[in-house]
A = this chain, B = another copy of it.
Amino acid sequence: MYTLLKQSIIDKISIPDAEMEAFCNLFCLKTLKKKEFFLREGDISRYEAFVKKGLFKVYHLDEKGTEHILYFAPENWWLVDIDSFHNNVPSMLYIEAIEDCEILVISQSDKEFANQTLPSIEKLFRIMTQKAYVNLQRRMIRNLSKTADHRYQDFIKRYPDLAVRLNNLQISAYLGISHEFLSKIRKKMVSKK
């Protein structure tokens, strides 16, 4: 049950067996079907989860009802709205399964407990947050400096395995463009080959 989670932790830090066991035992398995939600806008994020199987989208819905995807979370990724989870404020985000999923869930209080009692875990979450920050920073730079065309080509090159699991509505909501415009970009690419 915890194989993937353990591997994902070992890849980031060295951790004594006892701490690993203690930490993993705080998680419980949950399944979500496609279109079900792990978090909705207005909720306070009281759980964090590791994606064991499947794929989620983490997004914000603006006042016009347009979806803006912050990131996709496939296997090995974590689900949480750090903002809501740590500042105890209602979330601006939705976290929705876009495939049938299996996740390992830990509560806010158990995570705090782990942070306080298991020295390796504090480090694990520092490293994870750093990695998330670096990814977001790189994306910010790309969004500020590249055209939609370039961002799309970059996306399918960077995440080929993800690209095939997503439809164009989802990709366009991640790139920050309309799906019609994405369709036109794709057409141009085909004709240029």
Which A residues contact B (CB, under 8 angstroms)?
Answer: 60, 62, 66, 68, 70, 82-83, 86-87, 92, 115, 119, 122-123, 125-126, 129-130, 132-134, 136-141, 143-146, 176
Given the contacts A126-B129, A136-B133, A140-B70, A145 and B62 also touching, CB distance less than 8 Å: yes
Residue of B nearest to A89 (CB): B134
CA distance A7 to B86 in the complex (A): 21
Residue of B nearest to A61 (CB): B145
Residue of B nearest to A144 (CB): B68
23 A–B pairs (Cβ distance < 8 Å), ordered by A: A60-B141, A60-B144, A62-B145, A62-B146, A66-B145, A68-B141, A68-B144, A70-B137, A70-B141, A82-B134, A83-B137, A86-B134, A119-B119, A119-B122, A122-B126, A126-B126, A126-B129, A133-B136, A136-B136, A136-B140, A139-B140, A140-B143, A143-B143
